A and B are shown apart, each in its own frame.
Chain A
């Protein structure tokens, strides 16, 4: 079903147009939309994109990505607050911790695939969660609060909302570019090959475990980048960052946006984060609405919002050209 979507070797010109339009939109968005909401959307877009990279390109569904997100958030928050480290360095430390954790998780989990892989990652993430509940440096259920944003490279004051917004935008774009580059690189092609037919890839002389592990660590590192950003955006790191529901949100965002699509994570993050912020005032109906959307999505939009749009527009395009059937 998905092979058509992944078979393309390079992004289309249309995709580049959309990227440019979105970038322009993102640059001027703070004029119209509340900056805290935008930053949260961007942060979760990156998190969902990291998860999407693993699911869409390697076919591995991890239920433990909150561990990377959360541990990086804790590390960044702790470094910024207690060691008074500048933001670029505290983020780097967060990413380093997430990558190491990713290496440990990956080494254990990639030996299995499918639901077993998911369960192993979930179990490991729960270990991390309970470690965070009891460890002293995380502040237990009270978390780390009042994390200072400090000065970027010692010059730019991230305490100012617009500075922070553009810093977050730049970091998220950089993270997304990294994933994008990996997806369309020869490395990404091998990953696609492993997803489609692992035995055949072995017969071609590749070692799938090495590729899977590298992809897993990359995904963990980018999740860590998102987690560190979230600690600086909301100026706190708490247990909800390492909670399994955060892993679940990544799954939901990607599923809603469209697995393996370029813009799926963005669309998913926009929908879920806006719902959490604006439907909060509905009282007690938020989880029901979220649940209904999830069910509708699974039943009616198997490809997610972006996936369905792409399918319909491709259909229209080929109909217009008169060569129906070849997609």
Chain B
């Protein structure tokens, strides 16, 4: 044994017990979102504010832990996102990343976090692979998933007596998977799919799709698509007066899309995991949020999810007295969740957060009592019925 080893052994024996007994003093969380492009309104800058609020609220209650929030724009490039996440983990001592809009980005960062044993707190991707074949012991999927959108919408609308469905679906994995899931649910529960059409991503003219839907014998037309597609289709179907002849649901649309459509959105159905005006606690939180962000838009379920997941993560860091991604996420799964936005809930073994889903209908403008108060909650779908059941999950973590 040479001198250096002796020294290291001595230092180790002195330093180790001290380190082990001292509680963690600081945590660093990176918000990796889209601040310029398609997801900027639904997560992005709003998610950063939400994460900062979660950190501040937590530090007020627990001054012993210093929480730092940093942020970057992933530009919707998964390779850039993965490189930023790696650099954050390796060089900047970031302990967790959150937001992660864009499924490809979320899946890429999920792998980086798995390799580096850091926490990935996904709030803005609906990919079912995050809790399925790509599930990781250090990842939590908080907000929503395709299965919940499909099952939740189908269950809630079938119970409204809408049995004959027509789908207008965006032609990529998100859309086709969602339509498949919803169709099998509908068929199994006494409904019928009378027709469906596919449109390419980024379509600007929906006239022919809307006319086909209008000509069908369906009671309900379900449009599946997100981002620009959702708001384009929303505006055009209103021009054709489709919602006067049939019931219309927009699956994958957010409150931002509904706000953009203005008073014409009246009567449309949407499925959401969070509605800001649902409880007095979430209304109070939204007031604080709006005072910080000042973009004139209500918080989305992704932004609310970022606040909630960061809050729960920080509680788990304190409880586990660790920042190791796997240890903290384990603790997150053990502790029941409770926050002002989603209420009480839990995180399953596959990393899926369970909370209710809400089918909402856009109100008539004359019924709005508060600013942004655009939804009537039609039905609450219990979390266990909305999200993919654990026994159907392809997650390998469940086998141990």
Contact = CB atoms under 8 A, between A and B. Distances in A.
B45 A240 contact: no
A234 B84 contact: no
A226 interface: no
Contact of B71 (A36, A141, A283): A283
Contacts of A141: 102-104, 172-174, 201
A281 B80 CA distance: 12
A280 B173 contact: no
B75 interface: yes
A34 interface: yes
B36 A284 contact: yes
Interface in B50-81: 70-80
Contacts of A143: 78, 104, 107-108
Contact of A134 (B75, B107, B171): B171
A122 B247 CA distance: 41
A286 interface: yes
Contacts of A235: 82, 111
Contacts of B134: 145-146
A281 B107 CA distance: 21
A37 B87 contact: yes
A238 interface: yes
A140 to B, nearest CB: 3
A143 B103 CA distance: 9
Contacts of A230: 79
Contact of B73 (A139, A142, A146, A284): A284
B40 A277 contact: no
Contacts of A37: 83, 87
B35 interface: yes
Interface string B175-201: 000000000000000000000000011
A145 B110 CA distance: 9
B111 A133 contact: no
B69 to A, nearest CB: 12
B172 A140 contact: yes
B91 interface: yes
Contacts of A280: 72-75, 80, 84
A40 interface: yes
Interface string B101-115: 011100110110000
A236 interface: yes
Contacts of A277: 80, 83-84, 87
Contacts of B71: 281, 283
A287 interface: yes
A101 B73 CA distance: 33
Contact of B79 (A40, A282, A283, A286): A40
A145 B73 CA distance: 20
Contacts of A40: 79, 83
A86 B48 CA distance: 41
A280 B269 CA distance: 36
B79 A236 contact: yes
A145 B111 contact: yes
A140 B174 contact: yes
B321 to A, nearest CB: 30
Contacts of B84: 277, 280
Interface in A205-262: 230, 233-236, 238-241
B90 interface: yes
Contact of B90 (A34, A133, A238): A34
A280 B44 CA distance: 12
B172 A286 contact: no
B76 A240 contact: yes
Interface string A139-157: 1111101100000000000
B235 interface: no
Given A37-B83, A236-B82, A276 B77 contact: yes
A9 interface: no
A121 to B, nearest CB: 20
Contacts of B174: 140-141
A130 interface: yes
Interface string A21-49: 00000000000001011001000000000
Contacts of B87: 34, 36-37, 277
A182 to B, nearest CB: 28
B89 to A, nearest CB: 11
A36 B293 CA distance: 34
B107 A142 contact: yes
Contacts of B35: 283-284
A240 B214 CA distance: 35
A157 B81 CA distance: 24
Contacts of A284: 35-36, 40, 45, 73
Given A133-B200, A230-B79, A283-B35, 15 more contacts: A130-B200, A140-B174, A141-B173, A142-B127, A142-B173, A145-B108, A145-B111, A240-B104, A277-B84, A280-B73, A280-B74, A281-B72, A282-B73, A283-B71, A283-B72
Interface of A: 34, 36-37, 40, 130, 133-134, 139-143, 145-146, 230, 233-236, 238-241, 276-277, 280-284, 286-287
